[in-house]
Structure 1
Amino acid sequence: MWDLEHWRWAAIRTIVNTRLYITRSSWLAPTTQPEQVKIYRSWLYVYPCRVFLPQDHDSQAHPKLPLVIRVHGGGFMVNNPAVDDPLARHLSDNAHCIVVSIDYGKAPQNKFPTGYEDVVAQTLAIIDDPELPIDKSRVVLSGTSAGGNLVLGAAQDARLRDKLIGINGVCPLVDIERDAATKMATRPDPSIPDFIGDTYDGIAKLYLDGANPPNLRDVRLSPINFTSRQDLPAHVLLVGVEHDMFCREAQDMFDKLKRLTQGGNDSESVEWHKVAGQVHAFENFPIKDSVEKEQKRVEAVEQMYSDIAKWLRRVFAYNV
């Protein structure tokens, strides 16, 4: 039985998805369109996957391509795969790979671990899709914010771990045990607003099942609690954003991974990139009151996209 909060978020999702349908449409965004849309797991609230192929792809020269599976952010509550179209298009063309943007069931209608299981199930289905020219030895998961949380947890799942060569989290939530006050206190400049801060604790409660509270240290919720280097793929790129409340915990996860990687296998790599001067989800929200700040934001988005693509090329063993 839905309560008022369920109906409120259903309405918010409808508004957000309608806006995405318009702004990511072929008539407003012709240069970032996917090559096809596919359904791997279809049920209420889950949108079809968006499949991107490199625009200069020569199927004879490269019969098989690496695969990147993208998982969007939105606080486990909103958005659909179209929100990642600009990044997906960029990565496909510049890292010469297949990019598949996927969706997952949203809270509060779908509590943890529904979204997590959606990510695992769709990832497995995509890897085994005979219609896509996938090089199964080069598969990477990539996610932003809540999507970063989901992929960093899914990468540790026994059903997926051995199928992945790399993992990328962008401003990911990695420790759900830390409350909003703790996270906000780690930001370098409290005068810069963080739009998640005041709502984080409430959103976390709506994502979790209050009737059957999960263990917050579970790596599916707090992927920072991995126990060994082998729990995650060989190559890891974590991207933090300077004024984001999740930046400190993401760097803590990087530090933990780096300590375990040092002196280990030379085929493993762990990288940390920090985007200076920006806030959470900066890539999706233009700054309207300052031309100078907007220009810096656009430059930061372009640089972040470029950095992720370059990292992918290294992971896929392409010449950079």
Structure 2
Amino acid sequence: MTDGTVVAQLPLLSRIYHGASIAAVQGFMASMRIYEQWHSWYYATDLNPPSIVKTYECRPSLPIRTFFPESYDQTAPQTLPMLFSIHGGGFCIGDPQDDDAWNVSFANAHDILVVALNYRKAPFYPFPTAIHDLEALMLAVYDDESLPINKSRIAVGGFSAGGNLTLSVCQLPSIREKVKPTAALSIYSVVDQSIPSEEKVKMRYYKPNLGPGLRSSPTDFLARFAPTFTWSYVPVGEDLQNPLVSPSFAPPETLPLYIFILAAELDQLAPEAWRMASKWAGRPVPPLTEKVGQEQPASEKGGLVLDDERFVFEHIGGDGKSSVRWLLVPDQLHGFDHLPPHVHGSEEAFQDAQLKTKKYQELLGDWLHKVVWKA
């Protein structure tokens, strides 16, 4: 696919395959979205509705979803810390609504205003369209006087492709100079597109003895579609080490002072995130051949590993005004905090994911309030 790190044109048959694959996926997901919206409306089953759905003139086709904490009095003059949330989907699929449950839970648990952003999708809108869509919407929200934003306490976070876009949009001068987010949250994100997917799948642990469900699969959850997503998003001729394509190559000074990097142990994207976290924390960068995590299942189900530097570390800058935090969630898949029970493949795996989601949200919220936004 590449000549060095520059994207080369694929053979015709490969392009036809990727084009047909992404068209099929997008068509299926669009149909599912229509069905879900109909079902939610007809049966009134939306348990996580946003407080506001709004569009801005800069991007009228991209509605965003805003979530106030349930304890917040919208008639009061009090301002709130804010998290910009960016959904995943391989840059090609997905919708802000995908994160509703996560956003509601996080807003309520930590008294944070959560604004779920939107962006246009590849392959019709390849790199860098999504980044500039997010830039425009972030600036519009920042200037929206109807929202009670504490402008000194703003974070940006995203899942999967949304985590990539988080670290990319935060590099833009307009965001750095005006919005000035104090923290960026990268959650099981693709951060190094220069490593082919066929190499990434060799760099993670597989745990066939983990029990029933997808976690014990001998293949990676992303392996089939990752090359198609990359082909759809990154244009021919683009450098895969461009920091806006692969944020792991971004100079730390172009990013917020506080960075939280979370990965899932059973995810081909975990090693690249680990390497990025190590580099930004000033730690030795592991070689590409080194796997992150452990070969055997964790001893505690539903828990995080907080006494092992493979799973957690934090580097606080010498002035105490910067931090790089690493957290590896044991025995879980890419997207574990969003996947429904039938995708997990067993009730045990689903419950494990739910417990770990709650625990990492607690760590993340405490980190924002006690480290990033401390008085």
TM-score by length of 1: 0.89
Q: Is 1:310–2:310 an aligned residue pair? A: no
Preserved contact between residue 71 and residue 81 of structure 1 (Cα < 8 Å)? yes
In the TM superposition, 1:1-320 aligns within 5 A as 7-21=23-37, 27-30=44-47, 32-40=48-56, 41-42=58-59, 46-58=61-73, 63-162=78-177, 163-189=180-206, 192=217, 193-210=219-236, 213-227=237-251, 229-259=252-282, 264-288=318-342, 289-315=345-371, 317=373
- Separation (CA, whole Å) in 2 of partners of 1:266 and 1:155: 21
Preserved contact between residue 316 and residue 324 of structure 2 (Cα < 8 Å)? no
Preserved contact between residue 22 and residue 229 of structure 2 (Cα < 8 Å)? no
Structure with larger Rg: 2
Other structure's SS at 1:282 match = coil
% identical equivalent positions: 28
The worse-fitting range, judged by mean Cα deviation, of 47-56 and 18-27 is 18-27
**1:38 shift after superposition:** 0.7
The worse-fitting range, judged by mean Cα deviation, of 161-170 and 9-18 is 9-18
- Separation (CA, whole Å) in 1 of partners of 2:262 and 2:23: 34
- Separation (CA, whole Å) in 2 of partners of 1:161 and 1:23: 41
Preserved contact between residue 187 and residue 263 of structure 2 (Cα < 8 Å)? yes
RMSD: 2.5
- Separation (CA, whole Å) in 2 of partners of 1:219 and 1:101: 24
- Separation (CA, whole Å) in 2 of partners of 1:126 and 1:230: 25
Q: 1:264 to 1:302 in 2, by over 3 A?
A: same
Other structure's SS at 1:82 match = helix
Could you tell me which amino acid in structure 1 is paired with residue 221 of structure 2? F
- Separation (CA, whole Å) in 2 of partners of 1:53 and 1:263: 32
Other structure's SS at 2:59 match = coil
User: After superposition, what is the alpha-carbon deviation per residue over 1:48-82, rounded to whole angstroms, capped at 9, x for unaligned?
Assistant: 10001111114687621111100000011111100
- Separation (CA, whole Å) in 1 of partners of 2:271 and 2:53: 36
Q: 1:62 to 1:244 in 2, by over 3 A?
A: farther
Could you tell me which amino acid in structure 2 is paired with residue 159 of structure 1? S
Q: 1:87 to 1:136 in 2, by over 3 A?
A: same
- Separation (CA, whole Å) in 1 of partners of 2:38 and 2:330: 31
**1:240 shift after superposition:** 0.6
- Separation (CA, whole Å) in 1 of partners of 2:258 and 2:187: 15
- Separation (CA, whole Å) in 2 of partners of 1:298 and 1:166: 25
The worse-fitting range, judged by mean Cα deviation, of 106-115 and 308-317 is 308-317
TM-score by length of 2: 0.77
Q: Which stretches in structure 1 are left out of the alignment for 5+ residues?
A: none
User: After superposition, what is the alpha-carbon deviation per residue over 1:206-249, rounded to whole angstroms, capped at 9, x for unaligned?
Assistant: 11223xx212111110000012x322111111101000111111
Could you tell me which amino acid in structure 2 is paired with residue 214 of structure 1? E
Could you tell me which amino acid in structure 1 is paired with residue 337 of structure 2? E
Q: Which stretches in structure 2 are left out of the alignment for 5+ residues?
A: 1-15, 209-216, 284-314
- Separation (CA, whole Å) in 2 of partners of 1:62 and 1:91: 22
- Separation (CA, whole Å) in 1 of partners of 2:335 and 2:279: 25
- Separation (CA, whole Å) in 2 of partners of 1:237 and 1:137: 18
The worse-fitting range, judged by mean Cα deviation, of 141-150 and 32-41 is 32-41
- Separation (CA, whole Å) in 2 of partners of 1:216 and 1:68: 28
Q: 1:310 to 1:27 in 2, by over 3 A?
A: farther
Number of equivalenced pairs: 312
